[in-house]
Amino acid sequence: MHISELPTPAVVIDRDAVRRNITAMAAVHPGARLRPHVKAHKCTSLAREQYLAGHRSFTCATPNEVLGMVRANVGDDLLLANEVLDADRLHTLAHAQESTRITVAVDSDVTVDAAAMAGLRDVVIDVNVGLPRCGCAPSDAGRLAERARAHGMNVRGVMGYEGHLMMVTDRVEKQRQVHDAMTTLAAAANDVGGDIISAGGTGTFDMFADTEVNEVQAGSYALMDTQYALLELPFEQAMWVVGTIISANDQWKVLDVGLKSLGMDHGNPSITDGSVWFCSDEHITFAGTTARVGDRVRVTPAHIDPTMAMHSVAHVIQDDTVIDTWPIDLRGW
């Protein structure tokens, strides 16, 4: 099938581009040095490409992502890098750990106790390293580890996500701030014990050389978006939402890709050689290309993660030929 035969809006992933991104990252962080974050693509078929590139351990953001990875039998070591209190979901995760190693992040007495009560075996202590979100105070990490061990759980180490530093554009300043955050994390790791010191994302992936971090949780690098393209990263755009021009006049054109098929929290998407005016539920109004009614146009999302979460399938292309269809099978919670 040619890309122009796809019903639109349609997510397309360039197989060669995604493989180049995976290869480029694996060269910097081979094997267990990278714990790819599946929240960026929510697609076990893409995770399998990462697995085949040598990464056996993965990061997830929701219980459903963990369970989907278990069902698809991708990954030997799954980290739920998020706090969960839902007893039913924790029990389901505990059941799933019979087939795959599952480790859950905890950052409070309540989350430690909930994990223990559900019968989970492995936890990491989630440490706040500057982003105002989850994570305990660094000084509290050792105490929480003791509490988890007192429940009989295995404390594998620490994680700390420096998300507030992803988009710092001055590399020297960014390096300094990442180093400071990871010094905090390393001190907490010393209090906690275990052997995992997990951190990072696509925006900081190459800034851990002088730190004790031993695994990086990047995810967006595989597909990329216009936000991360602002940084100088060795990854290329590998995913687009393809639309059809359904209306046009001398001043503007209208594409059948809208804000229900694009993550909008980082602003408008981009169209090569086009100027995006605004997005509606099912439309982008844009100007500046020679495309006509009926033509297909590729839209580059501003934020890859929520965009993937809005679609049920991704079409894999090589040049302009559709060679495979990957279910986006890790959606939901």
For binding to its own copies (CB under 8 A), which residues are involved? 7-9, 39, 61-62, 82-86, 88-89, 107-108, 110-111, 132-135, 137, 163, 244, 246-249, 251-252, 254, 256, 259-261, 263-265, 277, 279-283, 285, 293-294, 305-306, 309-310, 312, 332-333
Query: Based on CB atoms, which residue is closest to its own copies, 171 or 260?
Result: 260
Structure tokens at 41: 């693509």
- Rg for the chain, CA atoms, rounded: 21
| Minimum gap (Å) between residue 278 Cβ and its own copies | 8
Give the whole-angstrom CA distance, residue 160 versus residue 135. 7
C-alpha triplet 183, 185, 187: angle, nearest 5°: 70
The sign of the dihedral angle between the CA atoms of 18, 24, 27, 28 is: negative
Query: Based on CB atoms, which residue is closest to its own copies, 98 or 281?
Result: 281
| Minimum gap (Å) between residue 201 Cβ and its own copies | 11
For 194, counting Cβ atoms within 10 Å of its Cβ (0-12 exposed, 13-18 middle, 19+ buried), the class is middle
Structure tokens at 119: 């019968």
List b or e across 271-286, with b for residues whose CB sees 16 or more CB atoms inside 10 angstroms.
beebebeebeebbbbb
End-to-end CA distance of the chain: 33
| Minimum gap (Å) between residue 85 Cβ and its own copies | 6
| Minimum gap (Å) between residue 158 Cβ and its own copies | 15
| Minimum gap (Å) between residue 209 Cβ and its own copies | 27
Query: Based on CB atoms, which residue is closest to its own copies, 285 or 289?
Result: 285
Query: Based on CB atoms, which residue is closest to its own copies, 83 or 215?
Result: 83
C-alpha triplet 168, 170, 175: angle, nearest 5°: 80
Give me the residues paired with residue 127 across strands: 136
Query: Based on CB atoms, which residue is closest to its own copies, 105 or 207?
Result: 105
| Minimum gap (Å) between residue 279 Cβ and its own copies | 7
Query: Based on CB atoms, which residue is closest to its own copies, 135 or 157?
Result: 135
